[in-house]
């Protein structure tokens, strides 16, 4: 089974890594891929360059052999759409189950994604949510996904795509936006990012 977690990682922080590790452990995955976003639609440009974001991600997971960086979106000069990335992954992976990991906030706006219904032909969705948090998806998303929900993660291996699984993970209140703000005002970001990333950012005066 292939699991992927996308993000801007500008910069990667402890919260990202905890989500990756908790999903990995819960699903008993041998490997989980982190995919830094290339050129996302409808958002401001990144602060760090693609090369800088990639390097920080590589440093962050250097000691985690079960986590790997997939830089495919950084290697193409086109707007990054999840449906395109999953199409590429599906072409490479045959009938292996693919799981796309997203947050509850992304799921609530899923019908704004490009060709969002096609995602279910390409992958399962794993929605990470706060314990006890009720997700209010749009009516069209709720109706479309109602019969796709599964209760046990083992069911993800029964088909290559098409299901949705909700996983409760206690969040760490850390954001890349706050880290950039702290760094830009000279305040410490120690322990919000992995040590290797912290020292690399200090060396390159990133976000300062």
Chain segment 180-201, per-residue pLDDT in tens: 999 999 999 999 999 999 999 9
Q: Say which residues have a Cβ less than 8 Å from residue 1's Cβ, sequence separation at least 6.
A: 27, 29, 96, 97, 98, 99, 156, 157
Looking at residue 125, its pLDDT comes to: 98
Cβ atoms of 18 and 7 within 8 Å: the answer is no
* Confidence tier at 169 by pLDDT (50, 70, 90): very high
Q: Please tell me which residue, 77 or 160, carries the higher pLDDT value.
A: 160
Looking at residue 77, its pLDDT comes to: 84
Q: Give the β-pairing of 32-36 and 2-7.
A: parallel
Longest dimension (CA), the chain: 51
* Confidence tier at 136 by pLDDT (50, 70, 90): confident
Cβ atoms of 54 and 6 within 8 Å: the answer is no
Looking at residue 133, its pLDDT comes to: 79
Where is 69: in which H helix or E strand? Answer: strand 67-69
* Confidence tier at 175 by pLDDT (50, 70, 90): very high
pLDDT higher than threshold 80 for residue 73: yes
Q: From the DSSP assignment, how many helices (H) and strands (E) are in the chain?
A: 8, 6
Average confidence (pLDDT) over 173-185? 96
Determine the Cα angle at 50 with ends 46 and 54, to 5°.
120
Walk me through the domains of the chain, giving residue ranges and CATH numbers: 2-171 (3.40.50.620)
Strand, helix or coil for residue 168: strand
Computed over every residue of the chain, the mean pLDDT equals: 95
Looking at residue 39, its pLDDT comes to: 86
Using alpha carbons, list the distances in angstroms from residue 207 to 6, 39, 188, 195, 196: 21, 20, 12, 16, 16
């Amino acid at each position: 089974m292939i699991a992927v977690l996308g993000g801007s990682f500008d910069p990667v922080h402890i919260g990202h890594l905890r989500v990756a590790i908790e999903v990995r452990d819960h699903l008993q995955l041998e490997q989980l891929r982190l995919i830094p976003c290339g050129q996302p639609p409808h958002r401001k440009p990144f602060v760090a360059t693609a090369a800088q974001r990639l390097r920080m991600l590589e440093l962050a997971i250097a000691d985690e052999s079960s986590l790997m960086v997939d830089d495919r979106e950084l290697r193409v000069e086109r707007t990054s759409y999840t449906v395109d990335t999953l199409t590429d992954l599906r072409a490479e992976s045959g009938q292996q189950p693919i799981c796309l990991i997203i947050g509850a906030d992304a799921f609530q706006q899923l019908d704004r994604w490009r060709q969002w219904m096609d995602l279910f032909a390409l992958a399962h969705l794993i929605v990470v949510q706060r314990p006890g948090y009720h997700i209010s998806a749009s009516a069209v998303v709720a109706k479309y996904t109602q019969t796709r929900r599964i209760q046990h993660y083992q069911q993800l291996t029964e088909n290559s795509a098409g299901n949705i699984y909700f996983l409760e993970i206690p969040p760490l209140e850390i954001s890349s936006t706050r880290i950039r703000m702290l760094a830009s005002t000279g305040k410490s970001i120690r322990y919000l990012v992995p040590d290797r990333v912290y020292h690399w950012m200090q060396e390159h005066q990133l976000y300062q």
